[in-house]
Structure 1
Amino acid sequence: MNLPLLPLALACATGSYLYSTSTHASPVPAAPPASHPQELDEAARLRDQRQWLAALAIYERRLADHPDDADAYRMRALTLADLGSAERAWQLYRARPSVFSADQIQRLENDRLARRIVWGGLYAQDTATRLDEMKYAERLMAEHLASLTPEQRAAAHRPRLDSLVILNTLEKHDEVVAAYRSLQADGLQVPPYALAKVGDSLLATRHPEEAATALETSLAAMPGEFDIQLLLAYAYLESEQHARALATLDALVKANDPWPRAPGARRGHQNWHRFDADTNRAMMTAYGNRLQEAQTALEALASISPNNAGLQSRLGNVFSMRGWTARALERQRMAMTLDPRSTEARIGATESLLALDRVGEARVLHDELLEQFPGNTHVQRLDRYWDAHLGWRGRAWAAGGRSDAEGSTSTASPLGNRDGEYGVYVESPMLADRWRLTAQASDGWADFQGERVHARYTGMGLLYAHDRLSLEAQALRPNDRYLDDTAFGVRAGWRFGDTVSASAGAFHADPEASLQARRSGVGADSWQAGLVWTPSEQGQLGARYKHWDYDDGNERQELGVYGQRRWITRPHLLVDMIGDAYASRGSRDDAPYFNPSQDRAFNGGVRIDHVAWRRYERHLRQRLELTAGSYWQEGYGSAWVPRASYRHEWKLGIGHVLDYGIAWSRPVYDGQREQRVALDIEYRWGE
């Protein structure tokens, strides 16, 4: 992240001067020459006491009477530099450079550059010109270094240090890191004010461990510096040290009273450091999956400060993490109204609009951000996500399983003794912000009493998605000896709001029909409907119904419900209670495929989701699911059915996921207990 560090920018002027005077000869002689007038001796004494204004007044009076006095002219310029008037001091030096020593010239040049850097770090009124001052400072620095001889340039340590501040403000973080490593290689110590900027750039370039080390060193020399502590907390967070990050922010909260009061004062005053500590602590709890706690904290702050754009934007971010995308967009728009320049709010609004399939509106914000903040790390990440979301998408998969009947060589499983599937599905980049073309090819197979039955399909389709509505049409051509009927179907989805969505679809010659039925040349048409309620990330409840019309006259109906509820939440661990139930029935008892006249099942269990390793967008998750339940089939009674699965999910970057796992179960078909083991792997790209 890149937080404003105005105190550190000011330190660039004062801290750089301290560094300069410790490495160069003093610009003022320890004692004035005997030829100096008495008034200049008095000015020198005042300077020794750091009474700069009194000394300056003497130099001004002296020059008014003796304009050619070189000593008074020189000392006036140096005293102005001591007072912070670096530009005026530099102008005086440029008017009469011959009266200054080489060390004094170097100091005045450096002070001028440092002051320009300070101006460049201040908040600009216009977003379009926010970096103009710092770009000017960068140009002046380049001109200054170009004016030096190679020997002088090699010894110009202070400009190299001040360049770190320039480059950091201009968001040239890679260059900051390269310059820092060069300083380290040359054995030069980076002072605390510049080391804080280095830590910020190390964090922006995703070196959180190095950033933490740099920031810890800077903080040791500048104890209590708020912005450094805040950056340090995020360095701990991004290196997956959640407890340490929260402890740092807890210390910041305790160290800053909301309304500090000076001794004897009738009332306190607002402490924005406490506000920043509270809001960042809330976000830290959100990043640790404690979203309800974060929401409560931010809403309490919003009730006090509803007109704070940053607060509204962060509350929108938490709503988005909880799955409430429309509410998140509302908050981001509030933040943009309060502060049209807010980068955080515009990024959040863009992501929300993408999630709501309102790409045209998102594109306007995305393009503006990329034009105005091309070097911003958060904007760059948004752009990578944008490309993944709107570009090519798809998945490739392969799976295989084995079903063994206990005490028998044959199986009643509708999946056969052996089964498998492989295929690829691809979506084109988005067209006109709403449309995609699709193509797919797959081969599903199963072995029944020594005969391998295939369901090979190739086909194309069309997707449409905008706002609440999504549509899909597909046409698939079979390429096997069992069925020759082209499959085609449509699906539709509708989002009622942040928590409720519905879907419906119909298919002629449904490719998902039973392979056992396919073996007998029997296909099926189908239609289905579903409803899902997701109140938050803490739980979900869904229901689905599917109706099959088989070619042999059999009508099969299936109704299922499923749900989950969060049980344990930790930064790297989520534990959910899960359950599902279904009931089905068929109209024929003599179908040549598994077709219970009636059956039903109920299962309950737990899902453990653990982040074993994470580095920004990349991670390794492992998931373990354990369930058990009762299955009942008419004519055969009921039996307990256990299931277990273990999976790995490798996220290789934005838009690239490799997922694989193994599953084991002991189902019962027609009263016969079986054991099933299955493996599958899938690679997905695009978002």
Structure 2
Amino acid sequence: MRTSACSFEVPFRVRVALAATLLALAGMASGAPQPAASELPAARDALLAQAQGQRDARDWPLALHSFRLGRERYPQDLAFQWGEIQTLADGGQSAEAVALAQQLLERRPDDPDTLLVMGYAQLRHAGVYASLEYVDRAMQHAGERPYVVREYLLALQRAHLADAALEIARQRPGLLSAQQQWELEADAAAENVRHAALPARGEAERFDAADRALARYDALLAQWRSAGNVPAALVQRVRIDRLQALHARSRMQELVDEYEALVAEGAEVPVYALGDVASAYLYLKQPQRAAALYRQLIAANYLRHEVSARQDQDFGLQYAYADQGEFEAARQSAHAVAAQQPPWRTLEGDKEATPNPAYLDARHMAAMMDFYAGDTPGAQRALERLVAAAPTRSHLRVDLATVYAARGWPRKGEIELKIAEAHDPRDVGLETAQGQVALDLQEWRQARELSADTLARYPENQRAQRLARQWRAHDSAELQLALSKGLGNDNPIAGGRDLGAEATLYSRPLAENWRLLAGLGQRRGNFSDGRAQHNFVRAGLEWRSRDWTVLGELAENHFSHGGRTGGGIGVNYQIDDAWSLQAGAQRLARDTPLQALRNNITSDRLDLGVRWRQSERRQWSFSASPSNFSDGNRRRSLLLSGQERLVTRPNWYLDAGVEIYATRNRRNDVAYYSPLSERSLLPSLRWNHTLRQDSARAWTQFAGIGLGGLTQQGYGGSALGVLSYGQRYRINDLFEVGGTLSAISRSYDGRREREWRIAFDLNQRF
């Protein structure tokens, strides 16, 4: 924050001639040798004026010569000594100035003018606080003198105590010029902004300082606009300083609007304000503009010597790259910054090396950029090393838990967060991470309480806002739609021009763990012996708790031979982060072949499954699904599927997959497709590409290809091929939609069929 560049006004210019005369008279009274009467006071005044003029012209050698000549001629005249001290300080010889002033103070320790001169010398030599010490002493001895009070006000202002100075100035109107008064008011408002940027003592007071600063700025600007005579440059400076108050209050859109208004007016916004503007653009999800400003700060070398400012700029630029989807640029920047930091540092006067906090922060940032770029194993290893090196740094454990959760290990993340809780239990990053893990684990009450707490305490925090959106999405009603349409198909399972549509509506959670559901759907297809159609209506209840999801339902089914009531139950049990079990049973199974239903044949089905998921890069599942048909047929189906990550890049990845399927039927002399034995092997590749993504929105495309074979008893072997392409779009946590076009080539009873199919699904929460 810029403040006014104040220096001692030289009351001595106004008082110097008078002081010289008074001191000369004092010298005569004391009996000291005096020059001739003809030299009083004109010669002395002329010499003082000459010396002061040379000082004003910044001709330090000539000014020193003149002041020293005056000291020699008039040794009792302190005006020449004061002038010499000031000139030495101005000319870069502040140590000599302080030494000379100290000699005067030893003889006149309580003289306010000598104290002011020492304050002037100390300002150049040791800074504003050393200067304030002597000006304060002068104020104590001569606080009734206006020029002493004025110098005291200016000293307070230079020491960033403008509020105190302004209070005194208001008690002594007319002491300062109008320009000085305006600048003092601007500096006092700027002090409030600095206080707003400091950590608050209590959570309830987090924005109080920023609110006070903004109220003060608004009142000051309104007053100046009403006055109409305040310099435009000063008004502009106050508007620029106000940007920091808007940032401290997290009023980011107002900050950006004001910045853009200033730029449109032709104002040159100084570099000290650009960091807050860049941060606001980043907060508002405008990373391109944020990146441009961060690069400008870095190119200007602004505060690069300060560790915290340098980190703000470097890390801000890396986040801006990541938010644009330029993950490789973010990674390269982060690792380059980390490489510049040594792990150890030696403090002055300390022989022992100590850990370098900047190294830890830079390595932490590099690990997170790896994570955003999709290198989850690399990010995990890096964070685990950092946690081992600095186990009490809770934010490291929080981010490690985030990586664990992203890899599908919420229980492992929960353990890390519990350890971090021992060090900083009320940290907003910790609590929001705990809330997100609680959602993953279906710990609904914990998630609700954590979301409410973090949003109440930190309403401007984006992590708290994100958790609140996720909680609102969970705590909403949900509509699921699915549509599948065959394009010119004529296979014996789905039929020609087949259509499948289903809609399911879930209620909002009841008593946290329960949801009501209601749904309806239709399947239809054309077969050689006519059209088949299945309509159904379903209603049920779902219970979700930690590790368990149970769904029970009743369904009314209508097909060619009237209506029948069925139902089912499904259970999923998550043993740990890797293993889960699934079981289900259906009476009048909804996936009974349409041709069977057309011929008044129904089926009951049992599903048993197990899944092992090492991480997002590797998983296998196995399921067994025996079905009993009402015509006496018994079908037994087995499916083994696996997925392995082959390539990961920041915006896309490639997975290899395989499906091994086998089925047996007791009868094949039935009215629907029922091979006595069929086996298939389908290796595949699936490519997934992120077109656009931010914290809530994602647009992806995907494509797959599979080429394998199948064998059917009585018909031998044949090739099996699958091609697919689709896109998914998620607007926010409440709405997601996707569509897929696929082509399948395979044989049924020795006859090859080529199928085209389009599938569409939608999920809306409200």
Normalising by the residue count of structure 2, what TM-score does the alignment of the two structures yield? 0.82
Q: CA deviation at 1:143?
A: 3.9
In the alignment, the residues of structure 1 paired with residue 698 and residue 705 of structure 2 have an alpha-carbon distance, to the nearest angstrom, of 23
SS at match of 1:98: coil
SS at match of 2:15: coil
8 Å Cα contact 2:11-2:147 kept in structure 1: no
Q: Which amino acid aligns with 2:723?
A: A
User: Which residue of the other structure, out of 174, 190, 194, is the alignment partner of 1:98?
Assistant: 174
Alignment match, 1:649? 728
Any idea what the Cα deviations from partners look like across 1:506-544, whole Å, max 9, x if unmatched?
Answer: 111111111111111101111111111111111110011
2:527 is equivalent to residue 448 of structure 1: yes
Change in CA separation of 1:62 and 1:283 when aligned onto 2, cut-off 3 Å? closer
2:626 is equivalent to residue 558 of structure 1: no
8 Å Cα contact 2:722-2:742 kept in structure 1: yes
Larger radius of gyration: 2
Which range is displaced more, 488-497 or 140-149? 140-149
Alignment match, 1:408? none
**Within-5 A mapping of 1:622-633:** 622-633=701-712
User: Which residue of the other structure, out of 451, 463, 466, is the alignment partner of 1:378?
Assistant: 463
In the alignment, the residues of structure 1 paired with residue 134 and residue 348 of structure 2 have an alpha-carbon distance, to the nearest angstrom, of 39
8 Å Cα contact 1:483-1:523 kept in structure 2: no
2:145 is equivalent to residue 69 of structure 1: yes
2:258 is equivalent to residue 258 of structure 1: no
In the alignment, the residues of structure 1 paired with residue 678 and residue 263 of structure 2 have an alpha-carbon distance, to the nearest angstrom, of 72
Q: Which amino acid aligns with 1:106?
A: W
SS at match of 2:495: coil
2:617 is equivalent to residue 538 of structure 1: yes
Which range is displaced more, 493-502 or 156-165? 156-165
In the alignment, the residues of structure 1 paired with residue 466 and residue 491 of structure 2 have an alpha-carbon distance, to the nearest angstrom, of 52
Q: CA deviation at 1:267?
A: 2.2
Q: Which amino acid aligns with 2:686?
A: R
In the alignment, the residues of structure 1 paired with residue 524 and residue 331 of structure 2 have an alpha-carbon distance, to the nearest angstrom, of 52
Q: CA deviation at 1:378?
A: 2.3
Change in CA separation of 1:256 and 1:401 when aligned onto 2, cut-off 3 Å? same
User: Which residue of the other structure, out of 404, 428, 432, is the alignment partner of 1:347?
Assistant: 432
User: Which residue of the other structure, out of 301, 313, 317, is the alignment partner of 1:232?
Assistant: 317
In the alignment, the residues of structure 2 paired with residue 299 and residue 163 of structure 1 have an alpha-carbon distance, to the nearest angstrom, of 42
Q: Which amino acid aligns with 2:148?
A: A
Alignment match, 2:586? 507
Alignment match, 2:447? 362
Alignment match, 1:680? 759
8 Å Cα contact 1:145-1:153 kept in structure 2: no
User: Which residue of the other structure, out of 259, 270, 284, is the alignment partner of 2:355?
Assistant: 270
2:276 is equivalent to residue 296 of structure 1: no
User: Deviating runs (4+, > 6 A) in structure 1?
Assistant: none
By percentage of residues, which structure has more helix?
Answer: 2
Alignment match, 1:387? 472
**Within-5 A mapping of 1:314-463:** 314-402=399-487, 413-449=492-528, 451-463=530-542
Change in CA separation of 1:260 and 1:41 when aligned onto 2, cut-off 3 Å? closer
In the alignment, the residues of structure 1 paired with residue 289 and residue 129 of structure 2 have an alpha-carbon distance, to the nearest angstrom, of 43
Q: Which amino acid aligns with 2:160?
A: G
**Structure 1: stretches of 5+ with no match in the other structure:** 1-11, 405-410
In the alignment, the residues of structure 2 paired with residue 53 and residue 371 of structure 1 have an alpha-carbon distance, to the nearest angstrom, of 41
Q: CA deviation at 1:416?
A: 1.7
User: Which residue of the other structure, out of 373, 386, 392, is the alignment partner of 1:307?
Assistant: 392
Q: CA deviation at 1:148?
A: 3.2
Q: CA deviation at 1:83?
A: 2.3
Q: Which amino acid aligns with 1:200?
A: S
In the alignment, the residues of structure 2 paired with residue 166 and residue 316 of structure 1 have an alpha-carbon distance, to the nearest angstrom, of 34
In the alignment, the residues of structure 2 paired with residue 360 and residue 160 of structure 1 have an alpha-carbon distance, to the nearest angstrom, of 46
Change in CA separation of 1:58 and 1:319 when aligned onto 2, cut-off 3 Å? closer
In the alignment, the residues of structure 2 paired with residue 64 and residue 643 of structure 1 have an alpha-carbon distance, to the nearest angstrom, of 92
Alignment match, 1:33? 13
Change in CA separation of 1:90 and 1:531 when aligned onto 2, cut-off 3 Å? same
Q: CA deviation at 1:589?
A: 2.8
Q: Which amino acid aligns with 2:388?
A: S
Q: CA deviation at 1:337?
A: 2.6
8 Å Cα contact 1:403-1:674 kept in structure 2: no
Q: CA deviation at 1:66?
A: 3.1
Any idea what the Cα deviations from partners look like across 1:253-289, whole Å, max 9, x if unmatched?
Answer: 1222121235785222332222111111101101111
SS at match of 2:511: coil
In the alignment, the residues of structure 1 paired with residue 370 and residue 262 of structure 2 have an alpha-carbon distance, to the nearest angstrom, of 37
Change in CA separation of 1:65 and 1:542 when aligned onto 2, cut-off 3 Å? closer
In the alignment, the residues of structure 2 paired with residue 535 and residue 197 of structure 1 have an alpha-carbon distance, to the nearest angstrom, of 43
In the alignment, the residues of structure 1 paired with residue 656 and residue 382 of structure 2 have an alpha-carbon distance, to the nearest angstrom, of 27
Q: CA deviation at 1:592?
A: 1.3
Alignment match, 1:139? 215
Alignment match, 1:148? 224
SS at match of 2:174: helix
In the alignment, the residues of structure 1 paired with residue 532 and residue 628 of structure 2 have an alpha-carbon distance, to the nearest angstrom, of 21
Change in CA separation of 1:403 and 1:317 when aligned onto 2, cut-off 3 Å? same
Alignment match, 2:28? none
Alignment match, 1:283? 368
Q: CA deviation at 1:559?
A: 0.8
**Structure 2: stretches of 5+ with no match in the other structure:** 20-78, 80-113, 305-309
In the alignment, the residues of structure 1 paired with residue 444 and residue 129 of structure 2 have an alpha-carbon distance, to the nearest angstrom, of 61
2:249 is equivalent to residue 170 of structure 1: yes
Change in CA separation of 1:50 and 1:457 when aligned onto 2, cut-off 3 Å? same
Q: Which amino acid aligns with 1:460?
A: A
Change in CA separation of 1:412 and 1:270 when aligned onto 2, cut-off 3 Å? closer
Any idea what the Cα deviations from partners look like across 1:342-377, whole Å, max 9, x if unmatched?
Answer: 111111110111111111111111111111111222
**Within-5 A mapping of 1:213-232:** 213-221=292-300, 222=302, 224=304, 225-232=310-317
8 Å Cα contact 2:587-2:604 kept in structure 1: yes
Q: CA deviation at 1:203?
A: 0.7
Alignment match, 1:593? 672
Q: CA deviation at 1:146?
A: 4.3
In the alignment, the residues of structure 1 paired with residue 737 and residue 275 of structure 2 have an alpha-carbon distance, to the nearest angstrom, of 38
Change in CA separation of 1:651 and 1:99 when aligned onto 2, cut-off 3 Å? same
Alignment match, 2:205? 129
Change in CA separation of 1:351 and 1:457 when aligned onto 2, cut-off 3 Å? same
Which range is displaced more, 385-394 or 293-302? 385-394
Change in CA separation of 1:270 and 1:94 when aligned onto 2, cut-off 3 Å? farther
**Within-5 A mapping of 1:569-580:** 569-580=648-659
SS at match of 2:345: coil
User: Which residue of the other structure, out of 475, 494, 516, is the alignment partner of 2:554?
Assistant: 475
Alignment match, 2:267? 188
In the alignment, the residues of structure 1 paired with residue 575 and residue 131 of structure 2 have an alpha-carbon distance, to the nearest angstrom, of 75
8 Å Cα contact 1:412-1:594 kept in structure 2: no
8 Å Cα contact 1:470-1:492 kept in structure 2: yes
8 Å Cα contact 2:196-2:210 kept in structure 1: yes
Higher relative contact order, structure no. (Cα contacts within 8 Å, ≥ 6 residues apart): 1
Q: Which amino acid aligns with 2:224?
A: L
Alignment match, 2:627? 548
Which range is displaced more, 505-514 or 185-194? 185-194
Alignment match, 1:607? 686
In the alignment, the residues of structure 2 paired with residue 686 and residue 609 of structure 1 have an alpha-carbon distance, to the nearest angstrom, of 25
Change in CA separation of 1:412 and 1:619 when aligned onto 2, cut-off 3 Å? closer
User: Which residue of the other structure, out of 164, 173, 184, is the alignment partner of 1:108?
Assistant: 184
In the alignment, the residues of structure 1 paired with residue 336 and residue 303 of structure 2 have an alpha-carbon distance, to the nearest angstrom, of 13
Q: Which amino acid aligns with 2:448?
A: R
In the alignment, the residues of structure 1 paired with residue 204 and residue 420 of structure 2 have an alpha-carbon distance, to the nearest angstrom, of 19
Q: CA deviation at 1:483?
A: 4.5
Alignment match, 2:97? none
SS at match of 1:210: helix
Structure 1 vs Structure 2 CA RMSD: 2.2
2:222 is equivalent to residue 242 of structure 1: no
